[in-house]
Amino acid sequence: MAQQPRENTWWRDRFPLNWQGIKDTLLGETMPQHMRKWWFATGGIPFFLFFSLVVTGILLAFNYVPEPPEAYESVSRITNEIPFGAWVRGIHKWSAEFLVITLILHVLRVTITGAFKKPREFTWVMGALLLVCAFMAAFTGYSLVYSHQSYWAAVVGTNIAQSVPLVGPFVANLLRGGPELGPETWHRLFALHAAIIPILMVLLITVHLVLVRSHGVADVPGANNERTYRFYPDHFLTEAIIFMVLLFGFTIVTIISPPALGPMADPLVTPLHTKPEWYFYWMYRWLKLTPLAVGVLVPVTLAAIFVLWPFIDGWIRKRAPKTEYQPILGAVVALTLIVLTIWETISP
């Protein structure tokens, strides 16, 4: 009689968990057919990009020194001397750029399809807080380089924080480690960029995805929401392939144009023109057009409205159920942001 092959239970004996149940919970989901369209995959790509940022960030941290002026020298060493340093820095930089781009696309898609409405309000709130974290990570990361541009971006950023009514001076002092920028500031920027913000993002992503899974993906009016396909491997691998293609693209761009550094910061010389990263252009232009207090108060209020939007929208629709105000409001907001961004881009 043929002998049955003996099942290998080495791991199961030592970790007596319900592995099949865990696998089914994590991967055994089905997705509605409309999720096959690429703009519905904009939630998975930020997830992969965040993973890429963590891995490359850890590699950069092996050689980065969070203390001026060594900070600049260490970034220069990573870029010019350490094997594959420029590549790791390039992937980190491009992953950050594309995290912002794909998050903007993701916000557009959940807004246009109305996927933020009841009962998914907290899925949106967690996502909106993630966007705020992504912007904070971008600001702190840019400042870590200690180049002339990034130093003055840190000065402008902390001055803006200082102008927020009530909490501003406290937050700015906490960020700077005193009334002026100094070595303490870079210790704090590094702690925020490499530990506090990523840990916060891991927690927010976990709650965000648990909520997405618990509610299931929102139905889309007009689509056949009954037809489904497998999350794993179909949806997961599609997103993983898109991510691989992006990584390949980042590598090519990094080879053609390695990440720049610019001259080292000189705190005594105010540059003629400072520019933040492109996704802050709209705010920067707005600040140039308005007195500082108004300029800061408006984006802070808008950010609060953005985070709480599903509740505000629900409140408005309860009172005016027939008004279709969202497309007009969305167009006005998008147009304003685009005009301010282009204006700042073309100005010296």
- For ligand HEM, which residue has the nearest CB? 127
| Per-residue interface string for the shown chain with ligand HEM, residues 60-99, x marking contact by CB under 6 A | ----------------------------------------
Instruction: Please choose, out of 16-24, 58-66, 187-195, 212-220, the segment that lies near ligand HEM by the rule CB under 6 A.
Output: 212-220
- Would you count residue 110 as binding ligand HEM (CB under 6 A)? yes
**43 is a site residue for ligand HEM (CB under 6 A):** yes
Interface segment toward ligand HEM; rule CB under 6 A; list 51-59, 112-120, 148-156, 168-176: 112-120
Smaller CB separation from ligand HEM, 50 or 139: 50
Q: Could you tell me the smallest distance in angstroms from the CB atom of residue 200 to ligand HEM?
A: 11
User: Who's near 195: CB < 8 A, 6+ residues apart?
Assistant: none
Find the shortest distance in angstroms from Cβ 46 to ligand HEM. 4
Burial degree of 103 (CB within 10 A; 0-12, 13-18, 19+): buried
Of the pair 49, 75, the CB lying nearest ligand HEM is at 49
Minimum distance of ligand HEM from residue 81's CB (angstroms): 33
| Per-position DSSP letters for 3-15, written without gaps between them | PPPPP--HHHHHS
**Residue 138 binding ligand HEM, by CB under 6 A:** no
CA 225 to chain centre: 30
The answer to whether 297 and 163 are in contact (CB under 8 A) is no
The reply on whether position 46 binds ligand HEM by CB under 6 A is: yes
102 binds ligand HEM (CB under 6 A): no
Contact with ligand HEM (CB under 6 A) among 115, 194, 265, 340: 115
Backbone angles phi, psi at 8, to 5 degrees: -80, 110
Residues 298-327 that bind ligand HEM (CB under 6 A): none
Among 59, 130, 192, 283, binds ligand HEM (CB under 6 A): 130
Q: Which is nearer to ligand HEM, 188 or 317 (CB)?
A: 317
| Given 50, 151, 152, 231, the residue binding ligand HEM (CB under 6 A) | 50
CA nearest 135: which of 96, 85, 89? 96
Structure-token pair, residue 157: 């950023």
Q: How far is CA 46 from CA 104, 106, 321, in A?
A: 10, 9, 34
Which stretches of the chain are DSSP H helices? Answer: 10-14, 19-27, 44-61, 70-80, 85-112, 121-144, 148-163, 168-176, 183-191, 197-215, 236-256, 281-289, 292-307, 309-319, 326-346
Cα dihedral sign, 241-201-27-32: negative
Q: Which of 194, 205, 261, 296 binds ligand HEM (CB under 6 A)?
A: 205
Pairwise CA distance, residues 12 & 22, whole Å? 13
The reply on whether position 107 binds ligand HEM by CB under 6 A is yes
* Interface contacts to ligand HEM, rule CB under 6 A: 40-44, 46-47, 50, 103, 106-107, 110, 115-116, 120, 123-124, 127-128, 130-131, 205, 208, 212, 217-218
